[in-house]
Structure 1
Amino acid sequence: MPHRLTPADMPDGLTVRIDRFRHDDVWLRTWTMWIAETEDLSPDERHDVVLIHGLGVSSAYFQRLALVLARFGTVRLLELPGFAGVPHPDHPLSTEDLGALVASWVRREGMSRVLLIGQSMGAQVVTEAAVQDPGIAAHVALIGPPVNSDERSVARQGWRLLQSAVFEPAAVRSMSIRGYVRCGWRWFAHTLPAMMRYPIEDRIGLLEVPVLVLRGGHDAVAPEVWTQMLAGRARRGSWAEVPGAAHSVVFDHARDVHAHLADLVQQ
Protein backbone atom coordinates (compact mmCIF):
# COMPACT_ATOMS: atom_id res chain seq x y z
CA MET A 1 0.00 0.00 0.00
CA PRO A 2 1.18 3.59 0.61
CA HIS A 3 4.87 3.97 -0.09
CA ARG A 4 5.11 7.43 -1.67
CA LEU A 5 3.61 9.47 1.15
CA THR A 6 5.58 11.79 3.40
CA PRO A 7 4.72 12.85 6.97
CA ALA A 8 3.35 16.11 5.56
CA ASP A 9 0.68 14.13 3.68
CA MET A 10 -0.65 12.48 6.80
CA PRO A 11 -3.64 13.99 8.60
CA ASP A 12 -3.35 14.47 12.35
CA GLY A 13 -4.35 11.43 14.35
CA LEU A 14 -3.90 8.95 11.47
CA THR A 15 -3.58 5.29 12.43
CA VAL A 16 -2.75 2.50 9.96
CA ARG A 17 -3.07 -1.23 10.63
CA ILE A 18 -2.23 -4.21 8.42
CA ASP A 19 -4.18 -7.49 8.70
CA ARG A 20 -4.69 -10.71 6.81
CA PHE A 21 -7.95 -12.57 6.29
CA ARG A 22 -8.21 -16.24 5.37
CA HIS A 23 -11.33 -17.82 3.94
CA ASP A 24 -11.34 -21.38 2.57
CA ASP A 25 -7.54 -21.34 2.14
CA VAL A 26 -7.62 -18.05 0.20
CA TRP A 27 -6.00 -14.90 1.63
CA LEU A 28 -6.71 -11.19 1.57
CA ARG A 29 -4.45 -8.46 2.94
CA THR A 30 -6.12 -5.36 4.36
CA TRP A 31 -4.77 -1.90 5.17
CA THR A 32 -7.02 -0.14 7.66
CA MET A 33 -6.68 3.58 8.27
CA TRP A 34 -8.63 5.97 10.43
CA ILE A 35 -8.22 9.39 11.98
CA ALA A 36 -9.17 10.33 15.51
CA GLU A 37 -11.78 12.91 14.51
CA THR A 38 -14.03 10.29 12.88
CA GLU A 39 -14.60 8.67 16.27
CA ASP A 40 -16.97 11.57 17.03
CA LEU A 41 -19.10 11.13 13.91
CA SER A 42 -22.72 10.21 14.47
CA PRO A 43 -24.08 7.04 12.82
CA ASP A 44 -25.83 9.22 10.22
CA GLU A 45 -22.57 11.00 9.34
CA ARG A 46 -20.27 8.00 9.24
CA HIS A 47 -19.52 6.02 6.07
CA ASP A 48 -16.88 3.30 6.28
CA VAL A 49 -15.06 2.78 3.00
CA VAL A 50 -13.66 -0.29 1.21
CA LEU A 51 -11.39 0.13 -1.83
CA ILE A 52 -10.54 -2.72 -4.22
CA HIS A 53 -7.84 -2.50 -6.90
CA GLY A 54 -7.68 -3.64 -10.50
CA LEU A 55 -6.04 -6.54 -12.32
CA GLY A 56 -2.34 -7.12 -11.67
CA VAL A 57 -1.78 -4.11 -9.44
CA SER A 58 -2.08 -3.26 -5.73
CA SER A 59 -3.84 -0.76 -3.52
CA ALA A 60 -0.86 1.63 -3.82
CA TYR A 61 -2.61 3.91 -6.31
CA PHE A 62 -5.43 4.51 -3.80
CA GLN A 63 -3.07 6.15 -1.29
CA ARG A 64 -4.08 9.77 -1.96
CA LEU A 65 -7.77 9.00 -2.23
CA ALA A 66 -7.74 6.92 0.96
CA LEU A 67 -6.42 9.84 2.99
CA VAL A 68 -9.18 12.22 1.91
CA LEU A 69 -11.82 9.50 2.35
CA ALA A 70 -10.65 8.96 5.93
CA ARG A 71 -12.87 11.95 6.81
CA PHE A 72 -15.87 9.71 6.00
CA GLY A 73 -14.96 6.98 8.49
CA THR A 74 -12.62 3.99 8.65
CA VAL A 75 -11.01 3.21 5.27
CA ARG A 76 -9.91 -0.28 4.30
CA LEU A 77 -7.82 -1.07 1.25
CA LEU A 78 -7.96 -4.69 0.14
CA GLU A 79 -5.28 -6.57 -1.74
CA LEU A 80 -6.76 -9.54 -3.52
CA PRO A 81 -5.38 -13.09 -3.63
CA GLY A 82 -2.27 -13.41 -5.78
CA PHE A 83 -1.60 -9.66 -6.03
CA ALA A 84 0.83 -7.38 -4.17
CA GLY A 85 2.58 -10.32 -2.51
CA VAL A 86 -0.59 -11.95 -1.18
CA PRO A 87 -0.21 -15.75 -1.56
CA HIS A 88 -1.38 -17.24 -4.84
CA PRO A 89 -4.30 -19.65 -4.45
CA ASP A 90 -3.74 -23.14 -5.77
CA HIS A 91 -6.52 -22.71 -8.33
CA PRO A 92 -7.89 -19.85 -10.47
CA LEU A 93 -10.59 -17.67 -8.92
CA SER A 94 -13.60 -16.38 -10.80
CA THR A 95 -15.04 -12.93 -10.26
CA GLU A 96 -17.85 -14.66 -8.41
CA ASP A 97 -15.25 -16.27 -6.11
CA LEU A 98 -13.60 -12.91 -5.44
CA GLY A 99 -16.96 -11.28 -4.79
CA ALA A 100 -17.88 -13.97 -2.28
CA LEU A 101 -14.52 -13.57 -0.53
CA VAL A 102 -14.94 -9.79 -0.23
CA ALA A 103 -18.56 -10.10 0.91
CA SER A 104 -17.53 -12.59 3.60
CA TRP A 105 -14.81 -10.27 4.84
CA VAL A 106 -17.04 -7.16 4.88
CA ARG A 107 -19.74 -9.03 6.75
CA ARG A 108 -17.25 -10.22 9.36
CA GLU A 109 -15.87 -6.71 9.93
CA GLY A 110 -19.27 -5.28 10.89
CA MET A 111 -18.68 -1.87 9.31
CA SER A 112 -21.09 1.07 9.24
CA ARG A 113 -22.98 2.24 6.11
CA VAL A 114 -20.30 0.86 3.81
CA LEU A 115 -19.22 2.61 0.62
CA LEU A 116 -17.78 -0.09 -1.66
CA ILE A 117 -15.38 1.30 -4.28
CA GLY A 118 -13.79 -0.73 -7.05
CA GLN A 119 -11.45 0.50 -9.75
CA SER A 120 -11.08 -1.38 -13.06
CA MET A 121 -11.40 -5.13 -12.29
CA GLY A 122 -12.17 -4.11 -8.71
CA ALA A 123 -15.42 -2.60 -10.02
CA GLN A 124 -16.50 -6.08 -11.08
CA VAL A 125 -15.54 -7.52 -7.70
CA VAL A 126 -17.51 -4.98 -5.64
CA THR A 127 -20.50 -5.37 -7.95
CA GLU A 128 -20.48 -9.11 -7.42
CA ALA A 129 -19.94 -8.79 -3.66
CA ALA A 130 -22.94 -6.46 -3.32
CA VAL A 131 -25.11 -8.67 -5.53
CA GLN A 132 -24.29 -11.79 -3.54
CA ASP A 133 -24.83 -10.09 -0.17
CA PRO A 134 -27.05 -7.02 -0.64
CA GLY A 135 -26.83 -6.03 3.02
CA ILE A 136 -23.09 -5.31 3.07
CA ALA A 137 -23.12 -1.97 1.20
CA ALA A 138 -25.04 1.29 1.46
CA HIS A 139 -23.43 2.72 -1.69
CA VAL A 140 -21.31 1.35 -4.55
CA ALA A 141 -18.85 3.25 -6.77
CA LEU A 142 -17.52 1.72 -9.98
CA ILE A 143 -14.50 3.58 -11.33
CA GLY A 144 -13.30 2.79 -14.84
CA PRO A 145 -15.31 -0.47 -14.97
CA PRO A 146 -14.36 -3.07 -17.60
CA VAL A 147 -15.09 -4.82 -19.90
CA ASN A 148 -16.84 -2.85 -22.65
CA SER A 149 -19.24 -5.44 -24.07
CA ASP A 150 -18.63 -4.17 -27.61
CA GLU A 151 -14.89 -4.87 -27.29
CA ARG A 152 -14.69 -8.04 -25.22
CA SER A 153 -11.34 -9.33 -26.46
CA VAL A 154 -7.91 -9.38 -24.85
CA ALA A 155 -6.27 -7.70 -27.84
CA ARG A 156 -8.79 -4.86 -27.93
CA GLN A 157 -8.64 -4.28 -24.18
CA GLY A 158 -4.84 -4.30 -24.23
CA TRP A 159 -4.93 -1.62 -26.92
CA ARG A 160 -7.40 0.46 -24.92
CA LEU A 161 -5.17 0.24 -21.85
CA LEU A 162 -2.20 1.46 -23.88
CA GLN A 163 -4.28 4.36 -25.23
CA SER A 164 -5.12 5.35 -21.67
CA ALA A 165 -1.53 4.93 -20.48
CA VAL A 166 -0.43 7.87 -22.63
CA PHE A 167 -2.39 10.14 -20.29
CA GLU A 168 -1.31 8.48 -17.03
CA PRO A 169 1.29 10.01 -14.69
CA ALA A 170 4.69 8.32 -14.78
CA ALA A 171 4.16 7.20 -11.16
CA VAL A 172 1.06 5.22 -12.16
CA ARG A 173 2.86 3.52 -15.03
CA SER A 174 5.72 2.62 -12.70
CA MET A 175 3.39 1.23 -10.02
CA SER A 176 1.51 -0.79 -12.61
CA ILE A 177 4.65 -2.38 -14.02
CA ARG A 178 5.88 -3.30 -10.53
CA GLY A 179 2.48 -4.75 -9.72
CA TYR A 180 2.41 -6.90 -12.86
CA VAL A 181 5.89 -8.22 -12.15
CA ARG A 182 5.06 -8.98 -8.54
CA CYS A 183 1.85 -10.89 -9.27
CA GLY A 184 3.57 -12.85 -12.04
CA TRP A 185 2.41 -13.62 -15.56
CA ARG A 186 0.92 -16.98 -14.58
CA TRP A 187 -1.53 -15.58 -12.00
CA PHE A 188 -2.29 -12.62 -14.29
CA ALA A 189 -3.14 -15.11 -17.04
CA HIS A 190 -5.30 -17.15 -14.66
CA THR A 191 -7.32 -14.08 -13.61
CA LEU A 192 -7.68 -12.28 -16.95
CA PRO A 193 -10.26 -14.65 -18.52
CA ALA A 194 -12.61 -14.24 -15.56
CA MET A 195 -12.44 -10.46 -15.91
CA MET A 196 -13.04 -10.64 -19.64
CA ARG A 197 -16.20 -12.69 -19.39
CA TYR A 198 -17.83 -11.14 -16.31
CA PRO A 199 -21.19 -9.63 -17.39
CA ILE A 200 -21.18 -6.48 -15.26
CA GLU A 201 -23.77 -4.95 -17.58
CA ASP A 202 -26.24 -7.60 -16.40
CA ARG A 203 -25.19 -7.84 -12.75
CA ILE A 204 -25.35 -4.08 -12.10
CA GLY A 205 -29.11 -4.16 -12.50
CA LEU A 206 -29.37 -6.39 -9.42
CA LEU A 207 -27.82 -3.81 -7.10
CA GLU A 208 -30.36 -2.30 -4.74
CA VAL A 209 -28.29 0.65 -3.48
CA PRO A 210 -27.20 3.92 -5.14
CA VAL A 211 -24.44 3.26 -7.69
CA LEU A 212 -22.01 5.79 -9.16
CA VAL A 213 -20.23 4.93 -12.41
CA LEU A 214 -17.20 7.20 -12.77
CA ARG A 215 -14.56 7.52 -15.49
CA GLY A 216 -11.66 9.72 -16.44
CA GLY A 217 -12.13 11.78 -19.58
CA HIS A 218 -9.22 9.96 -21.31
CA ASP A 219 -10.17 6.46 -20.13
CA ALA A 220 -10.31 4.34 -23.29
CA VAL A 221 -10.86 1.18 -21.23
CA ALA A 222 -14.16 2.54 -19.90
CA PRO A 223 -15.50 4.78 -22.69
CA GLU A 224 -18.29 7.27 -22.14
CA VAL A 225 -21.03 5.34 -23.95
CA TRP A 226 -20.23 2.16 -22.02
CA THR A 227 -20.19 3.80 -18.60
CA GLN A 228 -23.35 5.76 -19.26
CA MET A 229 -25.06 2.54 -20.32
CA LEU A 230 -23.99 0.85 -17.08
CA ALA A 231 -25.31 3.72 -14.99
CA GLY A 232 -28.58 3.54 -16.90
CA ARG A 233 -28.96 -0.16 -16.12
CA ALA A 234 -28.54 0.32 -12.39
CA ARG A 235 -31.78 0.74 -10.46
CA ARG A 236 -30.40 3.86 -8.74
CA GLY A 237 -27.48 4.73 -11.00
CA SER A 238 -25.64 7.97 -11.69
CA TRP A 239 -22.76 8.80 -13.99
CA ALA A 240 -19.84 11.21 -13.76
CA GLU A 241 -16.61 12.02 -15.56
CA VAL A 242 -13.40 13.69 -14.42
CA PRO A 243 -11.95 15.77 -17.28
CA GLY A 244 -8.25 15.32 -17.99
CA ALA A 245 -8.00 12.03 -16.10
CA ALA A 246 -7.37 8.58 -17.52
CA HIS A 247 -8.01 5.03 -16.30
CA SER A 248 -6.23 5.60 -12.95
CA VAL A 249 -8.30 8.67 -12.12
CA VAL A 250 -8.16 7.68 -8.43
CA PHE A 251 -4.44 8.48 -8.26
CA ASP A 252 -3.92 11.86 -9.86
CA HIS A 253 -7.43 13.31 -9.38
CA ALA A 254 -8.18 12.11 -5.86
CA ARG A 255 -9.85 15.37 -4.82
CA ASP A 256 -12.21 15.29 -7.81
CA VAL A 257 -13.09 11.65 -7.13
CA HIS A 258 -13.68 12.48 -3.48
CA ALA A 259 -16.14 15.22 -4.46
CA HIS A 260 -18.19 12.80 -6.56
CA LEU A 261 -18.15 10.20 -3.78
CA ALA A 262 -19.28 12.82 -1.27
CA ASP A 263 -22.30 13.46 -3.49
CA LEU A 264 -22.97 9.72 -3.76
CA VAL A 265 -23.14 9.08 -0.02
CA GLN A 266 -25.75 11.82 0.37
CA GLN A 267 -28.19 9.73 -1.68
Structure 2
Amino acid sequence: MPPHPVLLPPACRPVAVTVPGLGLTAASYGGLVDALGVAVPTAVVALPSMGLRAEPGAALDPESSADELARRLDEHGLADEPLVLVGHSASCQVVAELARCHPHTVRGLVLVGPTADPRMSPRRRLVVRWLRTAAREDPRRVPSMLRSYATTRLSGFARALRAARRRDLRATLAATTVPVLLVRGPHDHLAPSGWLDALAATRPGIEVVTTTAGAHNLPQTRPAELARHVVTLTRRVCREASTG
Protein backbone atom coordinates (compact mmCIF):
# COMPACT_ATOMS: atom_id res chain seq x y z
CA MET A 1 0.00 0.00 0.00
CA PRO A 2 1.49 3.40 -0.92
CA PRO A 3 2.11 5.87 1.92
CA HIS A 4 -0.74 8.27 2.68
CA PRO A 5 0.02 11.97 2.10
CA VAL A 6 -1.63 13.14 5.34
CA LEU A 7 -1.65 11.27 8.66
CA LEU A 8 -4.00 12.88 11.18
CA PRO A 9 -3.95 12.32 14.94
CA PRO A 10 -6.93 10.35 16.26
CA ALA A 11 -9.93 12.34 17.51
CA CYS A 12 -8.02 15.62 17.85
CA ARG A 13 -7.58 18.73 15.77
CA PRO A 14 -3.85 19.10 15.03
CA VAL A 15 -2.03 21.99 16.63
CA ALA A 16 1.21 21.20 14.79
CA VAL A 17 2.21 19.69 11.46
CA THR A 18 5.50 17.99 10.68
CA VAL A 19 6.90 17.36 7.21
CA PRO A 20 9.31 14.43 6.70
CA GLY A 21 12.90 15.05 5.75
CA LEU A 22 14.23 14.03 2.34
CA GLY A 23 13.78 10.35 1.60
CA LEU A 24 11.98 9.55 4.87
CA THR A 25 8.36 8.44 5.15
CA ALA A 26 5.59 9.77 7.37
CA ALA A 27 5.79 6.58 9.44
CA SER A 28 9.36 7.56 10.41
CA TYR A 29 7.87 10.35 12.53
CA GLY A 30 5.51 8.14 14.52
CA GLY A 31 7.76 8.25 17.58
CA LEU A 32 7.76 12.05 17.61
CA VAL A 33 3.98 12.24 17.09
CA ASP A 34 3.46 9.78 19.94
CA ALA A 35 5.83 11.74 22.19
CA LEU A 36 3.93 14.96 21.48
CA GLY A 37 0.68 13.13 22.23
CA VAL A 38 -2.23 15.15 23.59
CA ALA A 39 0.05 18.03 24.60
CA VAL A 40 0.54 18.99 20.95
CA PRO A 41 -1.62 16.87 18.60
CA THR A 42 0.43 16.63 15.42
CA ALA A 43 -0.35 15.66 11.85
CA VAL A 44 2.28 14.39 9.44
CA VAL A 45 1.99 15.79 5.92
CA ALA A 46 4.09 14.02 3.30
CA LEU A 47 5.21 15.67 0.07
CA PRO A 48 6.97 14.41 -3.07
CA SER A 49 10.50 13.32 -2.06
CA MET A 50 9.58 14.05 1.56
CA GLY A 51 7.46 11.08 2.44
CA LEU A 52 6.14 10.33 -1.04
CA ARG A 53 7.68 9.16 -4.28
CA ALA A 54 8.30 12.10 -6.62
CA GLU A 55 7.00 11.80 -10.15
CA PRO A 56 9.50 12.46 -12.95
CA GLY A 57 9.56 16.15 -13.77
CA ALA A 58 7.81 17.21 -10.57
CA ALA A 59 9.00 20.56 -9.19
CA LEU A 60 10.89 19.83 -5.96
CA ASP A 61 12.30 23.24 -5.08
CA PRO A 62 11.35 24.60 -1.63
CA GLU A 63 8.93 27.18 -3.04
CA SER A 64 6.97 24.62 -5.08
CA SER A 65 6.95 22.19 -2.17
CA ALA A 66 5.64 24.94 0.13
CA ASP A 67 2.80 25.66 -2.29
CA GLU A 68 1.97 21.93 -2.34
CA LEU A 69 2.05 21.85 1.45
CA ALA A 70 -0.35 24.82 1.59
CA ARG A 71 -2.67 23.01 -0.81
CA ARG A 72 -2.67 19.84 1.30
CA LEU A 73 -3.29 21.79 4.51
CA ASP A 74 -6.24 23.57 2.92
CA GLU A 75 -7.58 20.34 1.44
CA HIS A 76 -7.73 18.73 4.88
CA GLY A 77 -9.07 21.77 6.71
CA LEU A 78 -5.79 22.41 8.49
CA ALA A 79 -5.31 25.99 7.29
CA ASP A 80 -8.24 27.51 9.19
CA GLU A 81 -6.08 28.39 12.21
CA PRO A 82 -2.32 29.01 12.37
CA LEU A 83 -0.19 25.95 13.08
CA VAL A 84 3.24 25.25 14.46
CA LEU A 85 5.21 23.65 11.64
CA VAL A 86 8.03 21.22 12.32
CA GLY A 87 10.60 20.68 9.58
CA HIS A 88 13.47 18.23 9.53
CA SER A 89 16.61 18.59 7.44
CA ALA A 90 15.64 19.78 3.94
CA SER A 91 11.95 20.07 4.83
CA CYS A 92 12.96 22.96 7.11
CA GLN A 93 13.29 25.02 3.95
CA VAL A 94 9.79 24.03 2.90
CA VAL A 95 8.05 24.98 6.15
CA ALA A 96 10.05 28.23 6.28
CA GLU A 97 8.90 29.02 2.73
CA LEU A 98 5.32 28.40 3.84
CA ALA A 99 5.79 30.91 6.66
CA ARG A 100 7.14 33.42 4.14
CA CYS A 101 4.55 32.90 1.39
CA HIS A 102 1.49 31.92 3.46
CA PRO A 103 2.07 33.65 6.84
CA HIS A 104 -1.57 33.31 7.94
CA THR A 105 -1.05 29.54 8.11
CA VAL A 106 1.91 29.55 10.50
CA ARG A 107 2.11 30.39 14.21
CA GLY A 108 5.67 29.20 14.81
CA LEU A 109 8.46 27.09 13.31
CA VAL A 110 10.62 24.32 14.73
CA LEU A 111 13.50 23.55 12.37
CA VAL A 112 15.35 20.35 13.26
CA GLY A 113 18.78 19.91 11.72
CA PRO A 114 18.09 22.60 9.10
CA THR A 115 19.98 22.44 5.82
CA ALA A 116 21.67 23.52 3.65
CA ASP A 117 24.76 25.28 4.98
CA PRO A 118 26.27 27.01 1.91
CA ARG A 119 29.73 26.46 3.39
CA MET A 120 29.38 22.77 2.48
CA SER A 121 30.22 23.43 -1.16
CA PRO A 122 31.83 21.81 -3.06
CA ARG A 123 29.95 18.52 -2.90
CA ARG A 124 32.85 16.54 -1.46
CA ARG A 125 32.66 18.65 1.70
CA LEU A 126 28.98 17.75 2.05
CA VAL A 127 29.83 14.04 1.64
CA VAL A 128 32.52 14.26 4.33
CA ARG A 129 30.14 15.93 6.76
CA TRP A 130 27.43 13.36 5.97
CA LEU A 131 29.83 10.52 6.73
CA ARG A 132 30.93 12.10 10.00
CA THR A 133 27.28 12.53 11.00
CA ALA A 134 26.21 9.03 9.90
CA ALA A 135 28.95 7.54 12.08
CA ARG A 136 27.20 9.01 15.15
CA GLU A 137 23.67 7.90 14.28
CA ASP A 138 21.95 4.98 16.00
CA PRO A 139 22.75 1.92 13.82
CA ARG A 140 19.48 0.31 14.89
CA ARG A 141 17.67 2.89 12.75
CA VAL A 142 19.46 1.93 9.53
CA PRO A 143 16.99 -0.80 8.37
CA SER A 144 13.96 1.50 8.72
CA MET A 145 15.77 4.31 6.91
CA LEU A 146 16.66 2.00 4.04
CA ARG A 147 13.01 0.96 3.79
CA SER A 148 12.03 4.63 3.65
CA TYR A 149 14.51 5.35 0.87
CA ALA A 150 13.21 2.36 -1.07
CA THR A 151 9.71 3.82 -0.81
CA THR A 152 10.48 7.41 -1.74
CA ARG A 153 13.22 6.57 -4.28
CA LEU A 154 16.65 8.20 -4.39
CA SER A 155 16.07 9.84 -7.77
CA GLY A 156 13.64 12.33 -6.21
CA PHE A 157 15.95 12.67 -3.22
CA ALA A 158 18.83 13.79 -5.44
CA ARG A 159 16.73 16.31 -7.37
CA ALA A 160 15.23 17.80 -4.22
CA LEU A 161 18.66 18.00 -2.59
CA ARG A 162 20.06 19.94 -5.54
CA ALA A 163 17.13 22.35 -5.39
CA ALA A 164 17.50 22.79 -1.62
CA ARG A 165 21.19 23.64 -1.91
CA ARG A 166 20.38 26.48 -4.29
CA ARG A 167 18.08 28.19 -1.77
CA ASP A 168 19.60 30.11 1.17
CA LEU A 169 17.51 29.51 4.29
CA ARG A 170 18.85 32.73 5.82
CA ALA A 171 17.05 34.83 3.22
CA THR A 172 13.81 32.91 3.77
CA LEU A 173 13.88 33.30 7.55
CA ALA A 174 14.73 36.98 7.24
CA ALA A 175 11.42 37.45 5.39
CA THR A 176 9.36 35.75 8.13
CA THR A 177 8.07 37.14 11.43
CA VAL A 178 6.95 34.11 13.48
CA PRO A 179 8.96 32.69 16.40
CA VAL A 180 11.50 30.09 15.27
CA LEU A 181 13.26 27.39 17.28
CA LEU A 182 16.33 25.79 15.69
CA VAL A 183 17.22 22.36 17.08
CA ARG A 184 20.34 20.30 16.39
CA GLY A 185 22.05 17.26 17.83
CA PRO A 186 25.56 17.75 19.23
CA HIS A 187 27.00 15.35 16.62
CA ASP A 188 25.18 16.83 13.61
CA HIS A 189 27.84 17.93 11.11
CA LEU A 190 25.19 18.58 8.44
CA ALA A 191 23.69 21.29 10.65
CA PRO A 192 26.74 22.54 12.58
CA SER A 193 26.43 25.02 15.41
CA GLY A 194 27.98 27.83 13.36
CA TRP A 195 25.29 27.45 10.70
CA LEU A 196 22.48 27.59 13.24
CA ASP A 197 24.05 30.65 14.83
CA ALA A 198 24.14 32.29 11.38
CA LEU A 199 20.45 31.48 10.91
CA ALA A 200 19.58 32.88 14.34
CA ALA A 201 21.42 36.10 13.50
CA THR A 202 19.16 36.86 10.54
CA ARG A 203 16.52 38.52 12.75
CA PRO A 204 15.17 38.65 16.32
CA GLY A 205 12.86 35.88 17.45
CA ILE A 206 15.03 32.93 16.39
CA GLU A 207 16.44 30.71 19.14
CA VAL A 208 18.87 27.78 19.06
CA VAL A 209 18.92 24.68 21.26
CA THR A 210 21.18 21.64 21.18
CA THR A 211 19.91 18.30 22.43
CA THR A 212 21.84 16.33 25.02
CA ALA A 213 22.72 13.60 22.51
CA GLY A 214 22.09 12.56 18.93
CA ALA A 215 23.10 13.65 15.45
CA HIS A 216 20.94 14.58 12.44
CA ASN A 217 17.95 12.24 12.73
CA LEU A 218 16.59 13.54 16.03
CA PRO A 219 12.90 12.82 15.25
CA GLN A 220 13.83 9.14 15.01
CA THR A 221 16.54 8.88 17.68
CA ARG A 222 15.55 11.52 20.29
CA PRO A 223 11.76 11.88 19.90
CA ALA A 224 10.97 12.49 23.58
CA GLU A 225 13.63 15.18 24.02
CA LEU A 226 12.70 16.84 20.75
CA ALA A 227 9.01 16.73 21.70
CA ARG A 228 9.74 18.71 24.87
CA HIS A 229 11.21 21.53 22.81
CA VAL A 230 8.26 21.48 20.40
CA VAL A 231 5.80 21.60 23.31
CA THR A 232 7.64 24.52 24.91
CA LEU A 233 7.54 26.62 21.74
CA THR A 234 3.95 25.65 20.94
CA ARG A 235 2.65 26.58 24.37
CA ARG A 236 4.49 29.90 24.24
CA VAL A 237 3.21 30.96 20.84
CA CYS A 238 -0.34 29.84 21.65
CA ARG A 239 -0.23 31.79 24.94
CA GLU A 240 1.07 34.88 23.13
CA ALA A 241 -1.69 34.53 20.53
CA SER A 242 -4.41 34.30 23.19
CA THR A 243 -3.14 37.34 25.12
CA GLY A 244 -2.26 39.39 22.04
Do the two structures share a fold, i.e. TM-score over 0.5?
yes
SS in 2 for 1:164: helix
Q: Which deviates more, 82-91 or 60-69?
A: 82-91
Find the aligned partners of 2:20 and 2:57 in 1 and give their Cα distance.
21
| 1:210-246, Cα deviation, whole Å (9 max, x unpaired) | 0001100110100011112212214311110002211
Tell me the C-alpha RMSD between the 2 structures: 2.4
**Structure 1 position 237 matched with structure 2 position 206:** yes
For structure 2, the residue ranges without an aligned partner over 5 or more in a row are 238-244
Aligned partner of 1:179: which letter? S
Alpha-carbon shift at residue 155 of structure 1 (Å): 2.5
Find the aligned partners of 1:249 and 1:82 in 2 and give their Cα distance.
19
Alpha-carbon shift at residue 84 of structure 1 (Å): 4.4
Alpha-carbon shift at residue 190 of structure 1 (Å): 2.0
Q: 1:211 maps to which residue?
A: 180
Q: Which deviates more, 53-62 or 200-209?
A: 53-62
CA contact under 8 A between 1:95 and 1:124: conserved in structure 2?
A: yes
**Structure 1 position 50 matched with structure 2 position 17:** yes
| Pairs within 5 Å for 1:36-115 | 48-82=15-49, 84-86=51-53, 88-108=55-75, 109=77, 110-115=79-84
Find the aligned partners of 1:91 and 1:19 in 2 and give their Cα distance.
18
Work out the percentage of aligned pairs sharing the same amino acid.
24
Alpha-carbon shift at residue 19 of structure 1 (Å): 9.1
CA contact under 8 A between 1:232 and 1:238: conserved in structure 2?
A: no
Q: Which deviates more, 223-232 or 81-90?
A: 81-90
Higher relative contact order by CA 8 Å / sep ≥ 6: 1 or 2? 2
Alpha-carbon shift at residue 60 of structure 1 (Å): 2.8
| 1:108-134, Cα deviation, whole Å (9 max, x unpaired) | 423544110000011111001111101
Q: 2:242 maps to which residue?
A: none
Q: 1:4 maps to which residue?
A: none
Q: Which deviates more, 201-210 or 59-68?
A: 59-68
**Structure 1 position 158 matched with structure 2 position 139:** no
SS in 2 for 1:67: helix
Alpha-carbon shift at residue 33 of structure 1 (Å): 1.1
Aligned partner of 2:9: which letter? M
Find the aligned partners of 1:50 and 1:197 in 2 and give their Cα distance.
25
**Structure 1 position 31 matched with structure 2 position 4:** no
SS in 1 for 2:184: strand
Alpha-carbon shift at residue 87 of structure 1 (Å): 5.4
Alpha-carbon shift at residue 83 of structure 1 (Å): 5.1
| 1:182-207, Cα deviation, whole Å (9 max, x unpaired) | 33332223222101111101111111
Alpha-carbon shift at residue 170 of structure 1 (Å): 2.1
SS in 2 for 1:218: coil
Go from structure 1 to structure 2 and tell me whether the alpha carbon gap of 1:80 and 1:153 turns closer, same or farther (over 3 Å shift).
Answer: farther
SS in 2 for 1:235: coil
Aligned partner of 1:139: which letter? G
Alpha-carbon shift at residue 259 of structure 1 (Å): 1.5
Alpha-carbon shift at residue 158 of structure 1 (Å): 2.4
Go from structure 1 to structure 2 and tell me whether the alpha carbon gap of 1:85 and 1:119 turns closer, same or farther (over 3 Å shift).
Answer: closer
Find the aligned partners of 1:210 and 1:106 in 2 and give their Cα distance.
20
Aligned partner of 1:65: which letter? L
Q: Which deviates more, 95-104 or 53-62?
A: 53-62
SS in 2 for 1:141: strand
Q: 2:241 maps to which residue?
A: none
